Structure 1
Amino acid sequence: MQATAILPSIRLSAQKGRLVADQIRGLRVAKAIEILTFSPKKGAAIILKLLESAIANAEHNEGADIDELRISQILVDRGVSLKRLSTRAKGRGNRIVKPTCRILLTVSD
């Protein structure tokens, strides 16, 4: 039994998201929630909400027992970059690139 949750476009760089994802990959759900709750990183709060969504999907759709769930897969891929323009001197402009990422989280028993 598997349940997934996908966050298609979030304003977080993929590199920073992978740092948090590597901490919880393969852990039991209760331990992962504990780690994410007390982590000071921005990605921890985002992944915590996604994990709670995956747990709710497993419980509602599959009828799974929450105590036996583990994080079987978590992928953080680079998404579409938002491109902005910053004005500079003499009529020039600098490009500002704001990265996004896509997170896929799968829990299974």
Structure 2
Amino acid sequence: MEVRAIYKMARISPFKSRDVARSIKGMDARDAFNVLAFYPKKAARLIRKTLGSAIANAENNHNLRAQDLYVKGVFVDEGPKFRRYQPKARGSAGIIRKRTAHICVVLDEKENKS
């Protein structure tokens, strides 16, 4: 059974987050949670928070055990951009785009080999 958790409007660029997301796809849920604790990036902290929420959803809402779960997919989609303006030469203005991301973590049960 698929279990998911979504973190919307995360204040990080999706381009920076996708690198971390690719690294944990297919791992056991608990192993991925521990690996992300030592990843030296802000995206790892945000994805770890979402992964912890997905594990809690599986345990509390679907009565699944954390050791039976693996990371089926991690999707980082682009959210809305906050636009700020910075004064430039000759009275013009430059746009500063503060990007946001929607992080979705999907967990699934491992297949029993019996």
For normalisation by structure 1, the TM-score amounts to 0.94
**Structure 2 counterpart of 1:30:** 30
- Residue 103 of structure 1 pairs with residue 103 of structure 2: yes
Q: CA deviation at 1:102?
A: 0.9
Q: In structure 2, what is the Cα distance between the partners aligned to 1:2 and 1:56?
A: 13
Q: In structure 1, what is the Cα distance between the partners aligned to 2:51 and 2:83?
A: 29
Q: CA deviation at 1:86?
A: 0.8
**Structure 1 counterpart of 2:42:** 42
Q: In structure 1, what is the Cα distance between the partners aligned to 2:101 and 2:52?
A: 19
Q: CA deviation at 1:15?
A: 1.1
Q: CA deviation at 1:89?
A: 3.7
**Structure 2 counterpart of 1:15:** 15
Q: In structure 2, what is the Cα distance between the partners aligned to 1:91 and 1:56?
A: 53
Higher alpha-carbon deviation: 4-13 or 81-90: 81-90
Q: Does the residue aligned with 1:27 lie in a helix, a strand or coil?
A: coil
Q: Does the residue aligned with 1:23 lie in a helix, a strand or coil?
A: helix
Deviation per CA, 1:18-39, whole angstroms, max 9, x where unpaired? Answer: 0000110010012101210000
Gaps of 5+ in 2: 110-114
Gaps of 5+ in 1: none
For normalisation by structure 2, the TM-score amounts to 0.90
Q: CA deviation at 1:88?
A: 2.5
Q: Does the residue aligned with 2:64 lie in a helix, a strand or coil?
A: coil
Q: How do 1:56-67 residues align onto structure 2 when only pairs under 5 Å count? A: 56-67=56-67
Q: Percent identity?
A: 37
Q: CA deviation at 1:91?
A: 2.5
Q: In structure 1, what is the Cα distance between the partners aligned to 2:21 and 2:73?
A: 10
Q: What amino acid maps onto 2:93 in structure 1?
A: G
